[in-house]
Amino acid sequence: MEIATGIPALIHTAKALIIYANDVKNAPKEWAEILAHISSLQYLLEKYEKGQNGLHDETRASRYIEDINLKPRMQEVFTEIEKKIPQKREGLKGKVYHLLKRAEWPVISKKDAKDLQDNLRKLETELGIAINVDIEYVSRTVLERARANDILDWLRGYSFDGEQSEVQSDFQTKMTAGTGAHLLQSSELKDWIASNAPNKVFWCRGARGAGKSTQISAVVHYLQNQWRDKVHSNERAMGCTYFYVTPNCLKDLTATKLIVTLLLQLLDQLASGNPDPSKASFPKAIIDLAGPSVQSRRVPLRQELTKAFIESAECQQFPNGMFLALDNLHLLPVQDRSPRATDLIDGIYEFITEIQRSVKIKLLLCSGNAYMNYFLGDTQDIKPFELAATPQDLEIYLNHKIEGDDPKAKRFRADLRREDSLTKEMIIKELIDKSDKSFLLPVLQMKELFNSSRAGLISDVLKSLPPTFLDIYQSDLSKVRDLLPEESLRAKIAISWVYFARRSLSAYELECAVSFGRADRDGSFARRTNTISIEKILDWCQGLLTLAQGSESDGEDLILGGSPRVQFVHTTVYELLRDKLDLIQRIEGDIARECINYIGKTDLTEIVSDDISSRGWREAKARMYGLLSYSAEMWGFHASRANNPEIDNLAVQLLQQETKFEVLFDKIPRGISTYCEDDFLTATGFNIAIHFDYLRVVKLMVDKGLGQINPETTVQTFGGDIVESKPPLIWAIVSDAGDTGEWLIQNGANINIKIAGWSSLHWAITKGRADITKLLLDNGADANLQASDRNETPLIFAAIRGLLDISKLLVRYGASIEAYDAEYMNTAHHAAKEGHLSLLQWAIDQGCDPQAKAKGNNTPLSFACNQGHLRIVSYLLKRQEYPAEELSALLDWPVQMGHLEVVCALLVAGADSNHPAYGGWDQDQRTHGGAGTSREVGNGPSYWTPLQRASYRCNLGMMQLLLNYGASISEKSGGEWDSKGWVINGEGSESRKKEALEFLERWEQDHQGL
């Protein structure tokens, strides 16, 4: 059943009634009738606001209601009318209440939406007012708004979007006038961007510290501004996406997350060009990808994401294509041979290789060393563009720093004035001469000159400056060692935290971490009132740490007002520390210990709130316990990597404290294909250990009787309902806890148990884990076990998701290629519907019937036509001959959806362009000059020809194609309008209708008598 959102029916009806009531001044009769309608609406709104049990999406309904500030306006009108009416009249109350009651649910059927529209029109006639609400149009609009928001939320859950935005913002803040001019104004870059022919990647190369990332960010900033300036004009600018590989994101980076981040940037650009971002028109490739994935919360395969990115870059929203910059590729672990690193490098290589085949994608790669040949193969025929700090750029930058308004610059200028033999110009020239075309070295040397604790004159310091940035770092670390013991220790703690942290730390988080690290000495607990200030911490660290300029983290760890991120002064600091971990005091075990202790000492009973899920409650936690959010989110990752029995025992103790479950479970993701609230009804600390893939603790808890491999999975709620929660094995699969999942399987976990209809095998396929799928099959998983809700076998699950390797694996283990689900759809149906050509070809070769009919007599060909999958349609048409009548019957839906190439393929194969499609037509709508819908109605069926469908939508390209294949303009097919009549009474703007009508009339004139 096609669905439409019911909320807009309720809201827009209410708005229209309120407007009318405000306009009526002297008609008590109408006031009384309107009062009855508003009473009905008020009742429904109260149900929404109270979160009535059973409503499909109370949160979304509430959000829409708040958007238009409806309740106060209704109450105001209600009060005003009551004063003027001596008694309430029933009038149409019962009738209107009934039709609005049908809009109570946020999702209603299209038929109900149509009935609601008809009743509103009758109300117009009886009250003599014009409500002017097209329920179907409004429903479709709000449904698209919800879909857009859902897609954005879905992608953000699997991306580095926040970090990438912060990095770009930080670079932009640092930019001075002229930054990036060397690259932006180069003929090489201009010619490369302007070229429409297939071309090589644009490779930027430069020494460490040459300012590569800053110059790349200048190009990104320029293109983003171009997009914003031209987004509403006919001349659309090039889209722009980027990814900066940073040491921090490397800890969790996968090729999938990188591509998702790029897709999200692409969608955010489209949203930024719309006054209402939620109404942005997204590329069809992303809509198709998101369709089955948003609801399941499934992470698509890397190949699916790559395909969606390429097709989106080539879509009409980006007529000038897409610019993509990948920076700092030299930080990728190319020489690491671990499975995770290998998968990352291979995934990025495959992505880069695929997108280079598109002439619409301009790929800029930036690297500091020779690893580029790994991603580009033979680089001998690719001339790199050398990025370097020019003397002019350095002069502008250094002058800007010296003439700055910060206290250090002012103090430096005052000291400089006391040295007669030294000038600003002399200092700048000296630093430029020593720079070796690097931005970083003069920046660090200027920091040494600005240091208030420097000994002697500026001229003396200038002569003794370390010659390289690594020498400066070594000098800084020596200064850290030479501090007072307590200060030196805290500086090392701060540097350790920033180095090992799995995400960027806010300034407040680092304050708490450094303070708590020594809290046991006086028994104090690090809170906002007694932490060491970030300024003092940065001073102790001798400039190795700095605050990101102009960016604020938006995490839950922050108090109101935000807190800037802490970062190393440059990524090269990581390179130094990687080889000198003994210098930074803390190792991951120490951080894990402090995270565990911090959670243990947190007293959540001090924070009282009626709504524990509210933003206010999270902010209260942040104000009182600044390190709590990071500790709860990341403690398990640090502890599992520490490989320390003492830490393992501390973890077991923590996981036995039920009072801490609230904050620990708060960081575990929820979603349809992750965890639902029912899972937490029986979850314990054992499940948290599984979530972190903390196998040593999982074993300890089983040995101590604190966890069971096959526990009871049902529980009775206070209301008496019996609910199911996921067993440990499914927890492990959902959390991608591979080591723990393998151990559970080997130690007798129930493999074929189904929870909410899905078995462990279904979950492994949903996550795309071929290794876990094989392990389950090797240990007795049933390859033909059907899901309880739709009778989908594991093979059908794999077909829906396009997992060819897993499909082949399942068949080798006995999966039936002929199995079908509750809709009688087999593997071929699902592969064709979802657009997976290679899987469809394989399934047919394995004996899957391509002519099998599912519910509604749908074949794989009809599904492919309806979804617009041209390659699959072409493959099936070439594979065998179809009767002309069958092909003709398939025209209707692709014509409606505008799948021009699919319609062309059907016509070439023999479809009749005048074949009428069965559909209903509501005579009542004609009196209002509206448009009909294709559905059966009481006054009998009628038929649409393909040209009538195209004319109704004013699709000139489709009309031209159909006419070329013999479509008749005069055909009425049981209705009273021919194709020209459908143009006049169809969709589209007046100008579009005029253009379509002129086209048909011109065609008739040109072909008269033929």
Indicate the pLDDT class of residue 552, thresholds 50, 70 and 90: very low
166 and 249 in a single domain? The answer is yes
The pLDDT value given to residue 196: 65
**Residue 363 in 3-state DSSP?**
strand
Please give the C-alpha separations between residue 176 and each of 386, 566, 707, in angstroms, as whole numbers: 21, 22, 58
Q: Give yes or no: residues 302 and 420 share one domain.
A: no
Among 770, 692, 787, smallest CA distance to 731 is for 692
Which residue did the predictor score with more confidence, 907 or 683?
A: 907
Tokens of 924: 């009542």
DSSP code at position 500: H
**CATH number, domain containing residue 897:** 1.25.40.20
State the pLDDT confidence band at 297, using cuts at 50, 70 and 90. low
When pLDDT is cut at 50, 70 and 90, the band that residue 859 belongs to is: very high
Does residue 459 form part of some domain?
yes
Q: Which pair of structure tokens corresponds to residue 820?
A: 């079908």
Residue of 617, 627, 695, 715 whose CA lies nearest to 662: 617
Domain-embedded: residue 125: yes
pLDDT tens by residue, 968-983: 888 876 567 888 888 8
Residue closest to 318 by CA, chosen among 367, 359, 283, 345: 283
Give percent above pLDDT 90 in the chain: 17
Same domain, residue pair 227 and 278: yes
Contacts (Cβ under 8 Å, ≥6 apart) of 824: 852, 853, 854, 855
* Lookup: tokens for 431: 């630093």
Across the range 538-563, mean pLDDT stands at: 63
Q: Rounded CA gap, 250 and 504, in Å?
A: 12
| pLDDT category of residue 56 using cuts at 50, 70 and 90 | very low
**C-alpha triplet 256, 258, 211: angle, nearest 5°:** 160
Domain count, the chain: 4
CA distance 205 to 388: 9
- The CATH number of whichever domain residue 352 belongs to comes to 3.40.50.300
| In a domain? residue 657 | no
CA distance 331 to 323: 22
**Helices (H), strands (E): how many in the chain?**
50, 14
pLDDT of residue 85: 39
Mean pLDDT, the chain, as a whole number? Answer: 75
d(CA 981, CA 997) in angstroms, rounded, equals 9
The 3-state DSSP class for residue 202 equals: strand
Say how far apart CA 352 and CA 234 lie, in whole Å: 31
Write down the pLDDT at residue 747.
Answer: 93
Residue 847 lies in a domain: no
Secondary structure class of 212 (helix, strand, coil): helix
Could you list the residue range(s) of the whole structural domain that residue 402 is in? Answer: 391-465
Task: Check residue 353 and give its pLDDT.
Answer: 85
HSE-up (13 A, CA, CB side) for residue 460: 5
pLDDT at 549 (0 to 100): 61
Rounded distance between C-alpha atoms, residue 455 and residue 469, angstroms: 20
pLDDT, one tens digit per residue, over 94-148 is 334 333 433 333 334 455 556 556 655 655 555 444 444 444 444 444 445 556 6
Quote the pLDDT of residue 63: 39
Residues 866 and 869: their CA atoms lie apart, in Å, by 8
Look at residue 717 in the predicted model and tell me its pLDDT.
58
Range with the largest mean pLDDT of 231-235, 506-510, 809-813: 809-813
Question: Which comes out higher in pLDDT, residue 229 or 82?
Answer: 229
One-letter amino acid identity for 57? D
Stronger pLDDT, 177 or 15, i.e. the higher one: 177
Higher pLDDT, residue 489 or 236: 489
For the entire predicted model, the pTM comes to: 0.69
Give the per-residue pLDDT at 975: 65
Q: Are residues 124 and 258 in the same domain?
A: no
Quickly tell me which residue has 């790669």 as its tokens: 365
More confident residue, 510 or 91: 510
Residue 723 within any structural domain of the chain: no
Q: How confident is the model at residue 656 (pLDDT cuts 50, 70, 90)?
A: very high
Instruction: Please tell me the distance from the alpha carbon of residue 979 to that of residue 971, in angstroms, as a whole number.
Output: 7
What is the rounded average pLDDT of the residues 164-172? 81
403 assigned to some structural domain: yes
Residues 327 and 251 in one domain: yes
The answer to whether the CB of 967 falls within 8 A of the CB of 945 is yes
pLDDT tens digits, one per residue of 727-749: 899 999 988 888 999 999 999 99
Q: Identify which has the larger pLDDT, 906 or 1006.
A: 906
Under 8 Å between Cβ of 763 and 755: no
Q: What is the pLDDT of residue 442?
A: 84
By CB atoms closer than 10 A (0-12, 13-18, 19+), residue 82 is exposed
- Look at residue 113 and tell me if it is in a domain: yes
Euclidean distance between CA atoms 398 and 723, whole angstroms: 66
Residues 192 and 309 in one domain: yes
Is the distance from CB of 280 to CB of 148 less than 8 angstroms?
yes
Are 118 and 160 contained in the same domain?
no
> Quick one: 461 and 409 in the same domain?
yes
Single residue among 440, 465, 490 that ends a domain in this structure: 465
Given a contact cutoff of 8 angstroms between Cβ atoms, the answer to whether 317 and 281 are in contact is yes
Alpha helices in 503-570 (DSSP H): 507-516, 534-540
Q: What integer pLDDT is reported at residue 755 of this predicted model?
A: 84
Residue with tokens 């599992």: 640
Check pLDDT > 50 for residue 461.
yes
pLDDT at 843 over 90: yes
Per residue in 556-599, pLDDT (tens digit) is 434 333 568 898 888 888 877 877 666 665 677 889 998 998 88
